[in-house]
Amino acid sequence: MLQHPEVKGPGIGLLGFSKGGDLCLSMASFLKGVTATVLINACVANTLIPLHYKEMTLLNIGHDLERLKITESGLVDLVDIWNNPLEKLNCQSLIPIEKAQGPFLFIVGQDDHNWKSESYAYIASERLQSHGKEKPQIICYPNTGHCIDPPYFPPCLMSVHRMVGQEVFWGGESKAHFMAQVDIWEQIQTFFQKYLKGKDSTFHNKL
């Protein structure tokens, strides 16, 4: 990617959502050339399956489907099934983000019903600062759920989840979620322009 002709800055930026968020956290922690990272409703620990890199293995945080809840509408609510990454049995799933070189932007939907994204963002902030790293930027959006798409996409408040094979409630209120998607796009553009823009590069927002 660093050799791509469209990459004008000193490094590349990463943008990850949900499971893609913890993958981006791992990439920023272990790979060189990552200048800035944006996480949308991401977990601070490795999720679902173990992650292997060279001789290192990050365990997955683990979950218990016995803690699964069903809403009044018959939808699955997953928010409480995930284990606490700060507990001793789960700490080997925590991503060592203090090894990252670039800044972070955490975007949080405060009505995320997939997992506790706001809590994870502040765990990441405390971990970075405890290692003498820069405090990450955290932007929280009330009444906004898990599935945050680009602006003008219809809000996805529920859909079928492959892991459980049922309709899952992702959270959010339609209008607030829609407006958040518009603002989040601008926040991402601003963040990447600040940290990725090379001398000869230009950003064109066509949305």
Residues with active-site annotation: 18, 112, 146
Contact 104, 72 (CB under 8 A): no
DSSP string, 127-138: HHHHTTPPPPEE
**DSSP three-state, residue 122:** helix
Q: How far is CA 39 from the centre of its chain?
A: 3
Cα separation, 116 vs 109, in Å, equals: 9
- Full DSSP string of 47-71: -SS-EEETTEEEPP--B-GGG-EE-
- Distance (Å) of CA 96 to CA 25, 92, 144: 9, 10, 28
Within 8-157, strands assigned E span 12-17, 34-40, 51-53, 56-58, 69-70, 76-77, 104-109, 137-141
Distances (CA, A) of 99 to 10, 42, 164: 18, 18, 34
Give phi and psi for 150, each to the nearest 5. Answer: -60, 160
Which tokens hold the place of 102? Answer: 């670039």
